[in-house]
Amino acid sequence: MLTVDYKAQLLKDLKDSDYAAGYLSAALEEGEDVFLLAVRDVAQACGGMTALADATMLNRENLYDMLSENGNPRLSSIVSIIKTLGFAINFTKAS
């Protein structure tokens, strides 16, 4: 039976912006810690943390901390990261 490395396949899939947008939306619904890890996955798929740090003018080590399971980033940092990754945050009325 052929097996596929989950993380490698996920990173490949996350290169598709529509897939990544859905992944981030679903992660946010699961909770803050899941969302932060999902942002980290998308960042890794889109060139890595060093490229993201350079583009956002944030420290790479701080990015790793912010996007960890126990991260506590500022809203301004999250908005900058999301925008740099090519996404926007939109709000809809909760059902």
For the chain, domain boundaries:
7-84
Rg (CA), the chain: 14
Nearest alpha-carbon partner for 64 in 50, 46, 83: 50
| Residues composing the chain | 95
- Residue 1's pLDDT is 74
Per-residue pLDDT 10s for the chain (95 aa) are 778 799 999 999 999 999 999 999 999 999 999 999 999 999 999 999 999 999 999 999 999 999 988 889 999 999 999 999 999 988 889 87
**Cα–Cα dist 5/85, whole Å:** 24
3-class state of residue 5 by DSSP: coil
- Residue 3's pLDDT is 82
